[in-house]
Structure 1
Amino acid sequence: MGRKSKQAGGHNPLTYHERKHYANDSSYGTTTARLGQDSQYKFGHCGLSLHPAVEHPVATPSGFIYERSTILEYLLTKTQSLKREQIEYDQWRERQEQEQQGTQDKKRKAIVERFESAQKVETFKKKKTDDNPLIKSSYWLAQSQPEKDKELSTRDPPPKRPPSPNSQQPLRRKDLIELDLKWNNEHQVLCAISEKTIHTQPALALIPKKDDKAQVVLESVYNDLGENKERVCPVTGKKLSKILKLQQGGSSFASKDGVIEAKQYRPTMT
């Protein structure tokens, strides 16, 4: 036997760059693309519309920022969709119960028939014909179809509340927290204390006890103020009920953001 490079199929006629070039031009093969900073989540932008939440910014308990009108429209649409899913689920449950009741009735009827046939005195035994070969060969008949697996007949009920768009946690309208964001001319959020631009740094939302808007500050600046035993907002001077950590903006660095690659799965040629 000759060398591997001399065998049929032992040498690829295309180079790596040629294969990548033809794969990108064709509709075959999985393609990957590295996501830059312009495609990452920017702090202060709505998590649905991807525009700066300038008019009525709100935050969810998971720390994501949205425009109030956008998130309310999402909750309304999702609630209507869940109602339709609940109706379909109830109809499916009713059909399942009817099928189960019919199966139990058939079993009881078969038991009664066997009992009655055992009580009768037969003068001769009727030869039973096996219908299984006919049923197996007639695969287009309904009775010859295989029974459904029990696992395939199970179905989870729809959630009672619509999930959050990013965290997938149950979300209600009253869970939304109004924010008081300060913007510069470049549509970037500023810290309420130091007025530094917030890009990818950890930020906090200082939520007051009453229905006032929460102030957004940098976590490092808030920690530098020292221990706040009285839990008073350093901006407004009001009592705080909760301190929420907001979702950080994307930096396009893999060491910080994790996976920053997008994949498009397409069929292979083999």
Structure 2
Amino acid sequence: MTRHARNNTASACYTYHERQRDTQNSGYGTIKERLAKDSVGDFDACCLTLQPCRYPVVTPEGFLFDKEAVLEYIIHKKAEIARKLKQYEKDKKKHEMEMAELAEAEEQTKAEKFSNMERGLINPSTLNGSSTSNDISKPGPSSEKSVSNMAKGLEKKLPSFWIPSLTPKDESKDPLKAPDTTIRCPMSGKPLKAKDLIPVNFTPVDPSLTREQLIAKQERYLCPVTRDILNNSVPCAVLKTSGNVVTLDCIERIIRKDMIDPTNGKPLKEKDIIILQRGGTGFASTNKLESKIKKPVMQV
């Protein structure tokens, strides 16, 4: 009996291993990959730099950013929008000039035809005779409304989906579209403004440690009310009145009873409690740790 290694592809069924191998080699089918804990960001990491925040700020949707990184992002987007607007105005002026030239050429053609008719350069009887002969040669009213695309010279205007120059275009819409001037959050896609960013205050476990020493530790911050350690597995929220980060358990058990910030005594509203978007724990039961890339399906 021969070894299995020599007949590993002689099976009558298409095995899972062969399907996965062919998917990776051919580029067909949906590719799935399980993300490890190293691919999940920490709860105190910036959504842009993926590093612990030096000056943390949070958006109203709960996404944490480093102040320097998000301001640089906003400035870059403003410059990009200004560049797109400048190009749009340039293209708009060019389009208007082209349309004006076409309208002028059309008016000039009409004027030349009218002038030729007035001068008698074109014999009206010839036109009438040609029209009469054309009327006689026409088959009938039933065939005038033909749906064939070969009539009236349309055979030279046939669309072609595989030639870029002959691809049909939607002429009902304006080809020039004004660019979006709204700066949007890279995580949520909602409008992002610098004035809406809220400073965040993390309470360190040991205030005597420097920032470098604090980042090197696994347990860096805690809740200022309950003194619970903050990590990826603990749901947290930011109090807008003080910027302090507390646990959701503290909010449900203590803060929601009186709706008063326990760190400074200021009254709270429901919109002042911002749920912090955490990165993940590395466990599939808590977070979605499977990434998918959808590609064309190969029928076997």
Assess same fold via TM > 0.5: yes
Structure number with higher helix proportion = 2
Cα contact 1:28–1:268 (8 A) shared by 2: no
Cα contact 1:28–1:266 (8 A) shared by 2: yes
SS at match of 1:214: coil
Q: Report deviation, 1:76.
A: 1.8
Q: Structure 1, residues 39-90: CA drift from partner, whole Å, max 9, x if none?
A: 224311111111222x211111221011112212222222212211111111
Is residue 2:41 matched to residue 1:20? no
Cα contact 2:255–2:261 (8 A) shared by 1: no
CA distance in 2, matches of 1:38, 1:168: 25
CA distance in 2, matches of 1:95, 1:147: 22
Is residue 2:283 matched to residue 1:250? no
Give the equivalent residue in structure 2 for 1:38: 38
Q: Percent identity?
A: 28
Matches within 5 A, 1:57-76: 57-76=56-75
TM-score by length of 2: 0.66
SS at match of 1:263: strand
Instruction: Classify 1:110/1:145 alpha carbon distance in 2 versus 1 (closer, same or farther; 3 Å).
Output: farther
The root-mean-square deviation of aligned C-alpha atoms, in Å, is 3.7
CA distance in 1, matches of 2:168, 2:118: 33
CA distance in 2, matches of 1:170, 1:217: 26
Cα contact 1:49–1:70 (8 A) shared by 2: yes
**Residue 181 of structure 1 is aligned with which of 202, 208, 212?**
202
SS at match of 1:204: strand
Q: Give the partner amino acid of 1:62.
A: E
Cα contact 2:223–2:229 (8 A) shared by 1: yes
Q: Report deviation, 1:224.
A: 0.8
Give the equivalent residue in structure 2 for 1:233: 261
SS at match of 2:182: coil
Q: Give the partner amino acid of 2:38.
A: D
Matches within 5 A, 1:158-237: 158-184=179-205, 185-198=217-230, 199-208=232-241, 213-225=242-254, 227=256, 229=258, 231-237=259-265
Q: Report deviation, 1:249.
A: 3.3
Q: Report deviation, 1:166.
A: 0.4
Q: Report deviation, 1:206.
A: 1.0
Q: Give 5+ residue unaligned stretches, structure 1.
A: 1-10, 137-143
Q: Report deviation, 1:167.
A: 1.0
CA distance in 2, matches of 1:17, 1:233: 57
State which drifts further: 172-181 or 145-154.
145-154
Q: Give 5+ residue unaligned stretches, structure 2.
A: 1-10, 131-152, 158-164, 206-216
Instruction: Classify 1:224/1:95 alpha carbon distance in 2 versus 1 (closer, same or farther; 3 Å).
Output: same
Cα contact 2:235–2:276 (8 A) shared by 1: yes
SS at match of 2:265: coil
Q: Give the partner amino acid of 2:70.
A: I
Q: Structure 1, residues 189-230: CA drift from partner, whole Å, max 9, x if none?
A: 42221122332443221112xxxx50111122112115455x
CA distance in 1, matches of 2:166, 2:18: 50
Instruction: Classify 1:13/1:38 alpha carbon distance in 2 versus 1 (closer, same or farther; 3 Å).
Output: same
Aligned residues: 245
Q: Structure 1, residues 228-266: CA drift from partner, whole Å, max 9, x if none?
A: 55x531012245472222223324566764x54323466
CA distance in 1, matches of 2:235, 2:19: 43
CA distance in 2, matches of 1:187, 1:120: 97
Cα contact 1:161–1:172 (8 A) shared by 2: no
TM-score by length of 1: 0.72
Q: Give the partner amino acid of 1:194.
A: T
Cα contact 2:203–2:244 (8 A) shared by 1: no
Cα contact 1:59–1:66 (8 A) shared by 2: yes
Cα contact 1:162–1:171 (8 A) shared by 2: yes
Give the equivalent residue in structure 2 for 1:99: 98
Matches within 5 A, 1:71-150: 71-121=70-120, 122-123=122-123, 125=126, 148-150=169-171
